[in-house]
Amino acid sequence: MKIVRALFVAGYSSFYFDDQQAIKNGAGHDGFNYTGAPVTPGFRAVRQAGECVSVLLQLENGAMAVGDCAAVQYSGAGGRDPLFLGEQFVPFLEQHIKPLLEGRDVSTFLGNARYFDNLQVEGKRLHTAIRYGLTQALLDATALATNRIKAEVICDEYKLPVVAEPIPLFGQSGDDRYMAVDKMIIKGVDVLPHGLINNVEEKLGFKGEKLQAYVKWLADRVKQLAPDASYRPALHIDVYGTIGLIFDNDPVRVAQYIAGLEDFADGLELYIEGPVDMGEKQAQIACLGKITAELTRMGSPVKIVADEWCNTYEDIVDFTDAKCCHMVQIKTPDLGGIHNIVDSVLYCNQRGMEAYQGGTCNETDVSARTCVHLAVAARPMRMLIKPGMGFDEGLNIVYNEMHRTIAQLKAKGSAK
């Protein structure tokens, strides 16, 4: 089965692009907007509309495969590719990628995915957002061409067992870190709340006191609203390197503070994502390793999640091999081709590293649904609820797609 026509359509993603460095520097709020000037190259404002490009592949049988090129909310930060603006990239796709797609056979997925993931145009690899969307569309094309669902294609080509069971889901609150938590508890989300602790003065506190109070509130709220006593969600909070800011990136002081958060969690499992941001990869690995070692020495059960500077498959290998943390976030757009997500989850699973298949609120319904199939096939420890930063939208998309997929896998298994 071949592609007969490729189309590229610019659109909006589900959230916004935010200049992370400007926010860390103290950008103010004005309603939903941030005030002040951007500092990261490519941004025209601290917050601006998120954008995407849909890749549409028409097959010989008339079916239309779809994938969405999308980038993370904090583009251009932590070693990531620069801002992805749809209208700027459509002409590039028309000129350089369309001729390579039309006439291409899509009876298998991995060969096509690896080709485009490694492709260079004028000496440069494609933007991660382009590789992400192209490979989504190619996976969909293979599924449509071979009458399988996308999770089956991944299992078949990676020779993985088909496990028709759900993956634990992780809700993200955005700045609505109180009301969104109530929604998560009512709907029984497995892991919560993300929290968006990206500013010292407003959210962490100069002595970390605001995060301590928030963790206590989370534990108390779970008790108050839990549908039954068996509901004990894990707490997973992203702090965007702010803990390091108040303790001068001293790994011992950072670890002591993080260990102390256990006192406020009331026995709920606690993960702290991105406690420091050291500005480059090797320094990040070294500092996280010292924090993790100190937590181990103290006997603390609190776990560290790597985020900044852990963007590619190669990065995930390096962080995992260094054993510098307890969990690695596999940030879906940042890895480019979606096969890298599967490779990363499998690498972590085989080496005892907890794998969190993450991503960004700034994805789309199409990319989020594709990620469900990757997770069902590769089996990470948890998967981010996305897109959007309002929780409900993402839960509707991801939860329902996951359970539809599982139902189909069970039906196909029983028919064999």
Residue 227: helix, strand or coil by DSSP? coil
Q: Provide CB contacts within 8 A for 205, sequence distance 6+.
A: 211, 212, 246
**Rounded distance between C-alpha atoms, residue 302 and residue 404, angstroms:** 34
Residue 407: half-sphere exposure toward Cβ, Cα within 13 Å: 6
- Rg from Cα positions in the chain: 21
Is the separation of the CB atoms in 383 and 376 below 8 Å? no
Q: Provide CB contacts within 8 A for 404, sequence distance 6+.
A: none
Diameter of the chain measured on Cα atoms = 62
Of the residues 331, 386, 410, 416, only one is catalytic, namely 331
For the stretch 113-133, what's the b/e string if a residue is b when 16 or more beta carbons lie within 10 angstroms of its beta carbon?
A: beebbebeeeeeebbbbbbbb
Backbone angles phi, psi at 270, to 5 degrees: -125, 130
Is the separation of the CB atoms in 134 and 67 below 8 Å? yes
Question: Counting Cβ atoms within 10 Å, is residue 147 exposed (0-12), middle (13-18) or buried (19+)?
Answer: exposed
Is the separation of the CB atoms in 268 and 303 below 8 Å? no
**Rounded distance between C-alpha atoms, residue 346 and residue 22, angstroms:** 36
Q: Provide CB contacts within 8 A for 35, sequence distance 6+.
A: 27, 28, 29, 46
For the stretch 152-185, what's the b/e string if a residue is b when 16 or more beta carbons lie within 10 angstroms of its beta carbon?
A: bbbbbbeeeeeebebbebbbbbbeebeebbebbb
Residue 14: helix, strand or coil by DSSP? strand
Contacts 24+ apart (CB under 8 A), 203-211: 203/242, 204/239, 204/242, 204/243, 204/246, 205/246, 206/246, 207/246, 208/243, 208/246, 208/257, 211/237, 211/239, 211/243, 211/261
Distance of CA 294 to the CA centre of its chain: 27
Q: Is 323 a catalytic residue?
A: no
For residue 371, CA distances in Å to 203, 322, 364, 376, 400 come to 30, 27, 11, 9, 13
Positions marked catalytic:
331
